[in-house]
Amino acid sequence: MKTKISNLNSWIISPKPNPQADLRLFCFPYAGGSSLIFRSWPDSLPTSVEVCTVELPGRGRQMKLQPYNKIEPLVDAIASVIHPYLDIPFAFFGHSMGGLVSFELARLLRKKYGTLPVHLFISGRRAPQIPDLEPPIHNLPELAFIEELRQLKGTPPAVLENAELMQLFLPILRADFAVLETYIYTSEPPLECPITVFGGLQDSEVGCDELQAWQEQTKADFNLHMFPGDHFFLHSSQSILLEKLVKYLPHNLLT
């Protein structure tokens, strides 16, 4: 019996539940992002794919939970929750912070359960073995932190200028940036699943070489595709990104 995605599970949300699916695509948001980022994805994917978005603590249905500020306990928590839903073939897609989280989750699932995604899609995130040379921002004073967010262009100006909304978002954003900025890479054998990496041609955060370096993390096929757009090209180039993603899913599972 296939485990159904339950509405009672606040971690895993399916925008369009599909009990007949042959493959689950788990999607991991960028820093400050929620499951809403992926709400329209099922409309552009084959009917045999069930989109399952991972809702991190501090947002959406998980609003009342404290956000994590370290990657190890976060990935550990996701692994326990997600494991029952890995009873059919599955793939991971993660953008920016979500890319790093999905990679570390894949490594933990291999170690803990001997299971791996059929494909790992990483978007807008440099390879994990490349150290972060930028000074950390997660513990900056409020005004300086907001200014850094403005430069990154991921938070709408209307939100940045709304003091009440920012009081809600700041703890989540600080925690997410702490997850990234306290991350320490540890060497493990490359994954046995293919990795496809997506990047934005105008992304000032992540360069082509930093994306190409993901090749070291797989023993299987590796591909890199660049799309028009800045760090948030997954929104502006969504349709061509999803078109490309589908080409790498196992064809025998698609209808």
pLDDT of 126 > 80? The answer is yes
Give per-residue pLDDT as tens, 200-240: 999 988 999 999 999 999 999 999 999 999 999 999 999 99
pLDDT confidence of 7, banded at 50, 70, 90?
low
Q: What is the reported pLDDT for 113?
A: 95
Task: Please name the residues in contact with 242: beta carbons below 8 A apart, sequence gap of 6 or more.
Answer: 41, 44, 45
Instruction: Kindly report, residue by residue over 67-94, the tens digit of the pLDDT.
Output: 999 999 999 999 999 999 999 999 999 9
pLDDT digits (tens, 9 = 90+) for 134-166: 888 898 998 898 888 888 776 777 778 888 888
Q: Name the 3-class secondary structure at 31.
A: coil
Q: Count of alpha carbons within 13 Å of 140, Cβ hemisphere only?
A: 16
| CA–CA dist 25, 90 (Å, integer) | 6
So what's the pLDDT on residue 156? Answer: 73
Q: DSSP alpha helices (H): ranges in 71-160?
A: 71-82, 97-113, 142-152, 157-160
Nearest alpha carbon to residue 137 among 179, 94, 166, 167: 179
Domain annotation for the chain: domains and CATH numbers: 12-131+187-253 (3.40.50.1820)
Residues assigned a catalytic role: 96
Which two tokens mark 60? 């959406």
